Amino acid sequence: MPQNKEYSPQEIRIQQGGGYGNKRAGRILESFQGSRPVIDIERGKYFTESFKQTEGQPLVLRWAKALYSYAENASVYVDDGQLIAGRAGREGRYGILYPELDGDFLDEAIKRLPERESSPFDITPEDADYIINEISPYWKGKTFHEALAAAIPEETRKYTYNNDSELSSRFIVNETASFRSSIQWVHDYEKPLHIGFNGIKKEAEERLAALDEFSPVDNTEKRPFLESVIITADAIILWANRHAQLAQEKAESETNEQRKAELLEIARICRKVPAEPAESFYEAVQSQWFIQLFSRIEQKTGTIISNGRMDQYLYPYYKADKEKGLIDEDGAEELLECVWVSMAQYIDLYLSKAGGAFNEGYAHWEAVTIGGQTPDGRDAVNELTYIFLRSKREFPLNYPDLAARIHTRSPERYLYEVAETIKDGSGFPKLINDDEVVPLLLAKGAQFEEAYDYSVSGCAECRMPNRDTYTSPCAYINFAAALEMTVYNGKMLKYGDEVIGLQTGEAEDFESFDQFLDAYLRQQKNFMKHAFIQQHEIIRLRTQHFASPLGSSLHKLCMEQQKDIHSPKIEGGIDLGYFEFIGYGTVIDSLAAIKKVVFEDKRITLAQLKEAMEHNFEGYEPIRALVQNAPSYGNNDSYADEIGKLLDRELLAYTKKYSQELGVHLDLRYVPFTSNVPFGKVVSATPNGRLAYVPLSDGSSASQGADKNGPTAILLSNFATKNYDYRNRAARLLNIKLSPQCVKGGEGTAKLVDFIRAWHDLKLWHIQFNIINRETLIKAQQNPDAYRSLLVRVAGYSAYFCELSKDLQDDIISRTEHDAV
Amino acid sequence: MSGTVGKSGIVFNIQPYSLHDGPGIRTIVFLKGCPLRCIWCSNPESQNTYPEIGFDREKCIAGKGCDFCKGVCDIGSFSAAGANAELKGSCGGFREVCPAGAIQVYGREMTAEEIVSRAEEESAFYSHGKGGITLSGGEPFMQGDFALEILREAKRRRLNTAAETCGCCDTEILRQAAGLLDYIMFDIKLLDDERHIRYTGGSNRQILENLEMLFSEFPGLHKHIRTPVIPTVNDSGDDIGAINRFLSGRENCSYELLPYHRFGTGKYKLLGREYADIPERLDDELFRKLKAFEI
């Protein structure tokens, strides 16, 4: 080791080749870590079979019957060594199929999955045949993907799809609704833990009895909804009982007395939950796992249904058990880790190239929220909160994503333990700021008790489980492409002579920066138009293609109104959607470079810059150096930040006006997942000196390597570019990479806490850290076998570095590492 | 001119997110100029009070057709040492000329007000851990009136203040500064004056007198004493032990040893100067032993 070099605990663990000690979950993890995921076809198979038999019936009922068919027929599993029963597919890492979504090209995609670079999957030849011959043909002409493509106007299609047989994404104005049935989501898990699915069934039966027998609406809309809730409750109870039976059988043939006792306990619990209310911590954890797993069977939710505020709704069970002497910290941690390894084996399978590339490293975010405030505004941290943090330090798996809510009165110990966990270096937890999120939720119509009780959902979003009602996945917009179209008068180099965008004039003819900026803003607004046209059609179509009887049965408003959650409008609901700015830093820096170098300092003309860009700056190194040297976002430099604030403001003004027309909130968000990589692949060299087809800047972070003034400056630039007077704001994702030396020792922890407090004071939404040495990433790229367990923070999640594509690895390496002076 | 004396001065860097120079998260302001010439100095661009040019031929892209500097120099025969000797600080024309960062100018004139405003932008990061502004250099009290003006302005804005000094400065300036400081980092390199003169270019007499003054007149001010441990210069138990004994028993005082590093050697090259003949590495084991003398 070099002199005075500091390493994170994760780096030291890998250097020493250490495992996870004698942990039960560690042994399970070692059985599948690094293995290639396999496709399990049962979900696709039983849904397809059932759907063939229920054509013409109300969609919600068809969905419930398909779930019942799955529950009755699918394989069930109680894994060796596990304390928690249940998986949604075969042993090892697995992905499942949702042919109703984009199954129209399932047959083609299946052939490609084992070879693709981002998130590959294996499949057996028999299963591939079954998909090609039995599943795929049924769905052709029936999928949401095809319906959407047919519905959107010709002009909008140009920005959306390539003109190929699969209607693959063009990565300009990208809809994400055809690769997931719903936006990221959180259930109210408290309800089924309190009353069980027998309680939910009873509620549905009472409501059924109370229907107006003469009402056409009650008979054709409410009745099928309630019947589907009853069928779904029966389905999940049946499914759990099949696990109980399997555990019982395994116990009978088990010779090891200890394991036999464990299996008998699993059998007892699976007979009880989720049918009945949970009465112990163990029962609550098993019940919750069954419900979230069955949710995955039900539909493909963007980034998976998140776990909600686990340290809140599980705490009463933990506390009671602890007082009775039934459980201690280690026991609770072991049960949770048994769930974590089960989550880690489920892989969120995206068929489309876009889906796979947006969610690299087999990303899914069933975020666990900890900390924050109680519904009455007190600090919510409890003993269980610390067990979640401890588990992340001792067992740093990439699932679940851990999100720590921070507020003004977050206790010192909590912040200290959060900082210590971040210091481990595997990227957990990410932090979400109550004092930014809560006021925004209030401004969008929430009550205090709902806003204080929000759960982190997916990457960086926040949900109020009984109040949120918007399920349509939203557009990712490549605004760097809008900038390219401004330079090339509506064209992009990748697409040759095809005019895609507005013809705002030839670069040679712009006489002032304001003219150029105005042209860019028109392109930007035009992209918004197409995104909102897509969204209009997605909202209209979703109710014809998706139903969620399970999710709806866990939602207060849906049960009160007897409406499926995918209905276009649910009274009293708040529809919180968003649209995504991809390439924020890239666009700001490009505009700042043009303003400074071309129009202010007049060192080159725009025509010269365009010529250099057309040549990807090859042979034009002086021009590239000049534009790279111009002011850039992320440096607390008002020259660039004011441009950023203007772009943000224009978009907010657009959505303030037009999302009203759609009757929903579509708020401006800066959360890239890993999409800045594929979006970059269609954008040629940009005026900030970025070379052609390399990644765009990510989230609200600075362009790769452009932040030269340290991490405080990045936070201040974020602050400076936000328009706090608009409520139409959603998450901004912020990546900070620090060297382990910055956070060394107790003093380093204290200063990391100071930094987090300052981030909180600035009312920034989100922040996450990579504490790692650049050299470690480079070594991992060169020698992946030695670094299989290296976790890095990617977008809103952590992933195994070696499972990312080379492009994304390079992108992470190129993010500036901040060393303290 | 008297009305403006101290209002502005020459700064060569402002560095936010400093973690290892005083309490909390700090912004360091580097003032140009130092009376000493320590042979191991890692900030050679800090030594002269006037602005200077640095030139990095490796970054120069003249070979790729760049001629953005043709208005100010002939880059083929350009040398930083030559230009600095000729220009004696009047090198404003070279600022922002080079797109590649091959030519840079160390030092620009700023007012105390501007500096404190810059630091204050970072104030969100100061408030939870007693962070604030740190004056460094060079020797910050060489531009004494300017340094005092910055400290007064910082105090007017209720910022936490710290300074890093080599101690070789006007006693009256230091006395006034100490009244405005929350924390001071004070270097002692050697107690043996003959060797002090040999390796730093100056006597340690005034340094030690200034330190005594701080101890006697500012008992409430925490004094963090530091010694950079330089191979063959002061890396002995005798030298470090002597400093330890000199400090032991004093109130409100801590003592830290800083390991030798060569991060500054590249900058000598940019200035067209030679780095001293110092062994490359400080012995790790030796340094660990010497750490026992820390207080």
Task: Assess if residue A683 is contained within a domain.
Answer: yes
Distance CA A400, CA A404 (A): 12
* Cβ–Cβ contact A383 with B under 8 A: no
Per-residue pLDDT at B96 exceeds 60: yes
Average pLDDT over residues A172-179: 91
Q: In what order do the strands lie in the sheet with A173-174?
A: A173-174, A476-478, A576-582, A665-670, A729-732
Does residue A2 register a pLDDT over 60?
A: no
pLDDT on residue A472: 93
pLDDT at A3: 44
Range list of H helices, A462-555 = 479-487, 513-545, 549-553
Predicted pLDDT at A362 = 67
Tokens 């270096």 locate to: A425
**A4's tokens:** 């005075």
DSSP codes, B131-154: -EEEEESS-GGGGHHHHHHHHHHH
- Chain A interface, best mutation among B19, B25, B133, by max A CB count within 10 A: B19
Look at residue B3 and tell me whether its pLDDT is greater than 70.
Answer: no
Q: How far apart are CA A679 and CA A672, in angstroms?
A: 10
Report the residue from A628, A713, A758 with minimal CB separation from B128. Answer: A758
Q: What is the mean pLDDT of residues A605-621?
A: 97
Give the rounded percent of residues in chain A with a pLDDT score beyond 90. Answer: 77
pLDDT digits (tens, 9 = 90+) for B62-78: 999 999 999 999 999 99
Q: Do B25 and A712 touch (CB under 8 A)?
A: yes
Q: How far apart are the first and last CA of chain B?
A: 46
CA B73 centroid distance within chain: 30
**A800 three-class SS:** strand
Q: Do the Cβ atoms of B161 and B180 come closer than 8 Å?
A: yes
- Asked whether residue A556 carries a pLDDT value surpassing 60, the answer given is yes
The partner residue sitting opposite B124, judged by closest CB among A625, A629, A762, is A762
Q: Is residue A698 part of a domain?
A: yes
Nearest residue of B to residue A748 by CA position?
B19
Please check whether residue A511 lies inside any domain of the structure: yes
* Three-class SS state of A774: helix
CA of B12 vs chain A CAs: smallest distance (Å): 14
Predicted confidence (pLDDT) at residue A68 exceeds the cutoff of 80: yes
A734 pLDDT above the threshold of 50 = yes
User: Which residue matches tokens 């210069």?
Assistant: B233
Q: Return the domain boundaries, chain B.
A: 2-49+107-293, 52-106
pLDDT for the residue A181 = 87
Q: Which two tokens stand for residue B116?
A: 């404190």
Using a CB–CB cutoff of 8 Å, tell me whether A560 touches chain B: no
Distance CA B165, CA B140 (A): 7
pLDDT of residue A103: 85
In a domain, A439, yes or no: no
User: Can you give the pLDDT at residue B112?
Assistant: 97
ipTM over 0.85: yes
Across the interface, do B61 and A625 touch by the CB < 8 Å criterion?
yes
Least confident of A105-119, A313-327, B262-276: A105-119
Q: What is the pLDDT of residue B1?
A: 38
pLDDT in tens, A641-657: 999 999 999 999 999 99
User: What's the pLDDT score for residue A18?
Assistant: 64
Chain A environment of B259 (Cβ under 8 Å)? 3-4
Give a yes or no: residue A681 inside a domain.
yes
Tell me the three state secondary structure of residue A783. Answer: coil
In chain A, % of residues over pLDDT 70: 98
Are B121 and A757 in contact (CB < 8 Å)?
Answer: no
Average pLDDT over residues A431-448: 98
Q: How far is B268 from chain A (nearest CA, A)?
A: 19
Tell me which residue range forms the domain holding A694.
143-178+476-545+582-707
* One-letter identity of residue A462: C
Looking at per-residue pLDDT, the higher value among A297 and A737 belongs to A297
CB pair distance less than 8 Å for A636 and B121: yes
- Domain total for chain A? 1
Q: Do A622 and B65 touch (CB under 8 A)?
A: yes
Please check whether residue A604 is in contact with residue A623, taking contact to mean a CB–CB distance below 8 angstroms. yes
Tens of pLDDT, residue by residue over A299-331, are 999 888 999 999 999 999 999 999 999 999 999
Are the beta carbons of A669 and A579 closer than 8 angstroms? Answer: yes
- The DSSP string of A568-586 is S--TT-B-EEEEEEE-HHH
* Helix, strand, or coil (residue A628): helix
Instruction: Report yes or no: B171 and B210 within 8 Å, Cβ to Cβ.
Output: yes
CA distance B14 to chain A (A): 9
Q: Between β-strands A476-478 and A576-582, what pairing exists: parallel, antiparallel or unpaired?
A: parallel
Of A331, A287, A322, A278, the C-alpha closest to A307 is: A287
Q: Name the residue with higher pLDDT: A240 or A103.
A: A240
SS3 A127: helix
| Distances in whole angstroms, Cα of residue A581 to Cα of each of A181, A516, A587, A671, A723 | 22, 20, 10, 8, 15
Tens-digit pLDDT profile for residues B38-67: 999 999 999 999 999 999 999 999 999 999
Chain B residues lying within 8 Å of A636, measured CB to CB: 16, 121
Name the burial class of residue A445, with classes exposed (0-12), middle (13-18) and buried (19+) by CB atoms within 10 angstroms of its CB: middle
User: What's the Cα-to-Cα distance from A226 to each of A51, A192, A208, A210, A338, rounded to whole Å?
Assistant: 19, 16, 6, 11, 34
**Domain B2-49+107-293 is in which class?**
alpha beta
CA–CA gap between residue B35 and residue B8 (Å, rounded): 20
- Burial-class residue A256 by CB neighbours within 10 Å (0-12, 13-18, 19+): exposed
Residue A98 lies in a domain: no
Give the pLDDT confidence score for residue A426 in this predicted structure. Answer: 82
Closest CA in chain B for residue A619: B64
The residue written with tokens 């008297």 in the block is: B2
Task: Report pLDDT digits (tens) over A397-416.
Answer: 888 999 999 999 999 999 99
pLDDT digits (tens, 9 = 90+) for A503-519: 999 999 999 999 999 99
Catalytically active residues of A, by annotation: 459, 461
Candidates A714, A754, A759, A769: best to mutate against B (most CBs of B within 10 A) is A754
Q: Which pLDDT score, from 0 to 100, does residue A796 have?
A: 57
Secondary structure, 3-state, A210-241 = CCCCCCHHHHHHHHHHHHHHHHHHHHHHHHHH
Contact A733, A671 (CB under 8 A): yes
Cis bond upstream, residue A429 (ω within 30): yes
Query: What is the three-class DSSP state of A368?
Result: strand
Predicted confidence (pLDDT) at residue A21 exceeds the cutoff of 70 = no
Residue A490 forms part of a structural domain:
yes
Rounded to 10°, the helix A42-53/A59-73 angle is 130
- Check CB contact of A622 with chain B, cutoff 8 Å: yes
Kindly give the pairing relationship between strand B8-18 and strand B26-31. Answer: antiparallel
Q: Name the residue in chain B with its Cα closest to that of A821.
A: B18
A661 by Cβ neighbours in 10 Å (0-12 / 13-18 / 19+) ranks as exposed
d(CA A491, CA B155): 56
**For chain B, the helix, strand and coil percentages under 3-state DSSP, each to the nearest 5:** 35, 20, 40
d(CA A630, CA B98): 12
In sequence order, which residues have a C-beta less than 8 Å from that of residue A92 and are 6 or more positions away? A31, A32, A35, A37, A38, A345
Check residue A1 and give its pLDDT: 35
Name every residue whose Cβ is closer than 8 Å to that of residue A50 and which is 6 or more positions away in sequence. A62, A65, A66, A68, A69, A70
Nearest CA among A382, A440, A441, A442 for reference residue A413? A382
B95 pLDDT exceeds 70?
A: yes
